[in-house]
Amino acid sequence: MFHVGGARSALYNWAVAHKAGGVFVLRIEDTDEARNRPEWTDGILSALAAIGIDSADPAFEGPYFQSRNATLHRESAVRLFEAGRAYYCDCTREDLEARTGSKHLGYDGFCRDRGLAAGDGRALRFRTPDEGVTVVADLVRGDTEFPNASLEDFVIARGNGSAVFLLANVVDDVDQKITMVIRGEEHLSNAAKQQLLWEALGATPPQWAHLPVIVNEKRQKLSKRRDKVALESYLDEGYLPDALVNYLFLLGWGPKDDIEIRPYAELEQLFDLRDVNKSSAFFDVKKLSSFNADYIRALDADAFVRACEPWLLGPKAPWAKEAYDPAVFAEVAPLVQTRITVLDEVPMYVDFLFLAEPADDEAAWAKAMKPGAADVLTSARDELSRAEWNVDALKAAVEAAGAAHGLKLSKSQAPVRVAVTGRTIGLPLFESLQVLGRDRVLARVDRALKRLAAQ
């Protein structure tokens, strides 16, 4: 699963790297074997490619794997110990709780001056400065000050000598000459510790940019346990990649001319981290859907048909593959294109063309097939059986059938629509009848009359 927040961070990193003539570095933090699988790496690459971050682009470097740098991580930990910037500690959580009387207080520095050497069960802790302030200069949030006295002596290596993520991440950044780190606001609390590690390793810290948190309609941080956050989910529902990219770019930033819908190339040139808002960004699915509808309508005819193919030919289609007729879909595609907001709505509009019988919506049936519906359908069948098969003639036929029973067209067409398509809503009725053909239309009217007679 590729979180939409991660997708936004990736897009901002990609834009900054491209614009500055730099490189975008993808590093897989794979030191936790339980959370590392090759297919997950493939999923990340696939998701990045879907939003235009192409691993074949010269600006793309990676993927690098953190686990392959384990020797350098260990060496760096030892170097910090030998320089007096870290010390070994054998305190357990129970020891700390017994000394402080609390489960919630940070480490108390008990082992700072005990002079312990490396050994089983002894973690390596960074010796944070006792005085002064660590200032994290952030391109989004400005200067954020962290009093050193408030930073505990944090663990940088486990008892077995392996580096924890905090140190491994900094060592990798230094090794790969990272000059800018753009990430979510939730990582700001780690920035002071990481900056101290950069400096202790004799390196110049990168430029920091911490992006605003993304929230739902209740202004709660997006959570995979509560909200739909996977980029893949939106792609699977038929949100166009270009629409997603455009919308994600605007989560916390906007062009100064307030023109929101625009191609990626323009967004990249206009984007500036210094213009990113500090306030949380609302992930508005309705607005995203509106964006997507605009992008769908902007597709040319061939591009729209190609975009629909996974829902027409693949496992997402509710009909057998051999039932699909591309020539038939081409006839109605312009009508579908103006009505949908996401591509997974396509089958609902056209299934009556490719299924042997319409997929009856029982609520629609109950609404349309009220007393008198059978009489209207009988008259409509008679009119349709001898009408010329074009939109105007079909409309006149259904209108005449209704008039015979004192009904306006808006009332007479409802039972015909449900009989033929299975639904009360859909494509324009008379265009639908024309494409479906006389024989199939009459057969479906007969089917509806038979059902009504059995009620």
Please give, one letter per residue, the 3-state secondary structure of 163-200. Answer: ECHHHHHHHHHHHCCCCEEEEEHHHHHHHHHHHHHHHH
Q: Is 308 annotated as a binding residue?
A: no
For residue 272, give every residue at least 6 positions away whose Cβ sits within 8 Å of its Cβ, in sequence order, or none: none
Using alpha carbons, select from 65, 64, 8, 1 the residue that is nearest to residue 210.
8
Are 61 and 26 spatial neighbours (Cβ–Cβ below 8 Å)? yes
Are 424 and 367 spatial neighbours (Cβ–Cβ below 8 Å)? yes
Q: What are phi and psi of 62, to 5 degrees?
A: 120, -170
Using alpha carbons, select from 171, 150, 144 the residue that is nearest to residue 105.
150
**CA gyration radius for the chain?**
31
Q: How many CB atoms lie within 10 A of CB 71?
A: 8
Please give, one letter per residue, the 3-state secondary structure of 192-223. Answer: HHHHHHHHHCCCCCCEEEEECCEECCCCCECC
Count CA within 13 A, CB hemisphere, residue 388. Answer: 5
Q: Is 224 annotated as a binding residue?
A: yes
Assigned token pair, 440: 């199939």
Residue in the block written with tokens 């520095």: 109
**Beta pairing, strands 24-28 & 60-65:** parallel
Binding-site entries for Zn(2+): 89, 91, 111, 113
Binding-site entries: 89, 91, 111, 113, 224
Binding-site entries for ATP: 224
